Each structure stands twice: as structure tokens, then as C-alpha cells.
Amino acid sequence: MASRAALYYAHIESPCGMLELIVSAKGLKKINVMDQRSSCLKGVTLSIERTQVFATQLQEYFDGTRTEFDFPLDLEGTPFQKLCWEALARIPYGKTCSYSQQAEDMKNPKALRAVGQANGRNPVPIVIPCHRVIASDGSLGGFSSGLNMKKFLLAHERKVSSKGGNEEGSNKRGLEDDVVAEDSKKRRVVETSA
């Protein structure tokens, strides 16, 4: 019987409340919003060192100096969930799309309900931006971490986008970089653990 890979965690303060980061040697596995869920950390070791790159980039996101993440992910999900998360990763910072647009992007326009369910199982909200998906009528729709957090994240991204971000240390890309970034994001989700 194979032993379970070592997992590490840390808690970070954010404008959305306390976030719990769970990482493996391969990358970020999960973000728990502590105001929404209780922690289940049996066999998980506290490690500021192993979670530092993830915590730093999330803090930069909240500070408005980072608009995308470039650390590795170690996600577990079904093939369909991973396709949904790939589609989420292609939604540009500061923009939104509807569940139907996401399903169409996945070449499966009738899968609205399944898309919504897969989005709700996204283990790394913020990093894979399920908050950017709204209902076709423009209402917020759902969000596994709560609608207040979704409202905050959308407002935060609109504010940063309207300012053009902090030029010093900003990770904003030009439109010409989108195709390369989309391919790399797609690989990042697909190449994660099964």
C-alpha cells in the first residue's frame, strides 16, 4: 500500500478572512476560507517555509500588484472538473463570463449544471478564478466561499484593472501574451495529480 504524500499548511490573513493553504511537494492543493469551513488537518504539518511562495503571491494579489499566479498546482479532480478549471483559468483578470459562456468555451454548451457543480468543487478559489463566473442575467450566481467574498474579489479586480495595477512589480500581461499564458495555464491544470 502506497503511503500518502506529505502535506503542509499555513494560515494567512486576507481581506476575505483567514485562508488556509494546503500544499504538497508538487504544488498548491487547496485553499480553505476559514470563516466558511472548519479545518481538517490530520497528518498535515505546519510549514511557513513550504507555503511561503503561495502565501507571498496571494498577498501580492490582494495588494493589487499581481494579476496572475505562476506557482505549481497539485489538484485532484475528475477529468470533467479539470476541464472546467482549465476554462476558469482562461478568464482574464478583472473580467467575468457566464456559466453558459464557460460551457461553450468547453465545447459542451448543454453542461451548465455540471459546470456550476465543478466550479463549486474548485479546490483553489482565487487562484483558479471561479469568482469570475456569473449568471447569464448578470447576477452573481453562486460561490462556494460565499457571495460576500465573490463580491469583494470582483470589486477588487475591477478596482485594480481600472488603475492599471501598480506598475512596479505588476504581473499584468499584454494581449499578445494571452495565447501563451492560456496554453501554460491549461498544461498546469492538466499536469496536476489525478
H or E, element range at 59: helix 48-63
Q: Which residues contact 121 (CB under 8 A, 6 or more apart)?
A: 77, 81, 144
- Per the CB < 8 A criterion, the answer to whether 94 and 160 are in contact is yes
Determine how β-strand 7-14 pairs with β-strand 17-23: antiparallel
Q: Which grid coordinates belong to 131?
A: 469568482
Instruction: Put residue 150 in one of left, alpha, beta given phi > 0 → left and psi -120 to 50 → alpha.
Output: alpha
Give the relative orientation of helices 79-89 and 112-120 as an angle to the nearest 10 degrees: 80
Query: Is 130 annotated in the active site?
Result: yes
Give the relative orientation of helices 79-89 and 178-190 as an angle to the nearest 10 degrees: 160
Per the residue annotation, which of 16, 84, 97, 130 is the catalytic one?
Answer: 130
- Per the CB < 8 A criterion, the answer to whether 132 and 154 are in contact is yes
Give the burial string for 2-15 (b: 16+ CB within 10 Å, else e): eeeeebbbbbbebe
Residues with catalytic function: 130
